[in-house]
Amino acid sequence: MAESLKVLLIEGKRNVARCFAADLEKKGYSLKVESSGNKGLDALKAFSPDVVIINAASLRTNGLRLVSWFHNSLPGTPLCLIVAEDEPVVETENVNFFLRLPFTVQKLVNRLRTLENNSHKSMLIRGDLVLNPESRIAIYKNREVRLTPRLSDLLGKMMERPREVLSREELFKAVWDTDYVEDTRTLDVHISWLRKALEDDPHHPDLIKTIRSRGYMLKV
């Protein structure tokens, strides 16, 4: 439940930025809002958050220094970084997920839901794609679905190596746990089901790409 998740939100008051404090309060989160990184660190003396959200778009920073501060102060606590539409994203393993403006508050809530009950410890997050292997819930953009065990395993395997071409034989062997790879049509059917579950247009997929004569690639 949202009420059980304690959120520390670092959010300034720049007029050009989208702010989320009021929206998160309406959603019922246990929310602590601070207007700067220093105030946020001071708040940790009395508030132990389950997740820290840094709305860098509302501050005069790209947020990376604040990410480092909170990562060092709260190792293991998930960090979300919100950046402006024109802000280049610098990849860092200390951020659990990036969100680039503009986006709906529901998209932020969907990300937070994946962190409830400490489920983030096994989460797979690649860009806009999130998978909880324990619950088999996948979220892509604003779409949330519960996958079958096989589809969850297949997606998880592809998320382990995003933007890499994985051969049909490699995927089939890993997901079906077999050395028999002479007929991989079953894999193709499951890829089709996965596209129908996640893609806006399964016939013209932008997430799971077919690489002719080679295999499949997760494009995130």
Q: Which pLDDT does position 3 carry in this prediction?
A: 47
Q: What is the pTM of this model?
A: 0.62
Tokens 């994946």 sit at which residue?
A: 114
Q: What pLDDT, on a 0 to 100 scale, did the predictor assign at position 54?
A: 94
Residue ranges in the chain modelled with pLDDT below 50: 1-3
* pLDDT at position 91: 64
Contacts of 44 (CB under 8 A, 6+ apart): 8, 73, 74
User: What is the per-residue pLDDT across 128-180, written as a single tens digit (0 to 9) for each?
Assistant: 788 888 888 898 877 889 999 999 999 999 999 999 999 999 999 999 988 87
In the chain, domain spans: 2-117, 145-218
Residue 32's contacts (CB-CB under 8 Å, 6 or more residues apart) are: 6, 7, 8, 9, 43, 47, 49
| Domain 145-218 falls under CATH 1.20.950.20 | no
Q: Quick check: do 2-117 and 145-218 share a fold?
A: no
Assess contact for 136 and 146: CB atoms under 8 A: yes
Percentage of residues in the chain with pLDDT exceeding 90? 44
The radius of gyration of the chain's CA atoms, rounded to the nearest angstrom, is 19
Cβ proximity of 11 and 80 under 8 Å: no
- Both tokens of residue 128? 């806009």
- Token couple for 78: 């998930």
Q: How far is CA 64 from CA 12, 95, 203, in A?
A: 15, 9, 38
Predicted pLDDT at 219? 92
What is the C-alpha to C-alpha distance for residues 148 and 136, in angstroms, rounded to an integer? Answer: 7
CB contact at 8 A, 101 and 129: no
Q: Which one, of 110, 103, 107, 12, lies nearest residue 56 by Cα?
A: 12
The CATH architecture one would assign to domain 2-117 is 3-Layer(aba) Sandwich (3.40)
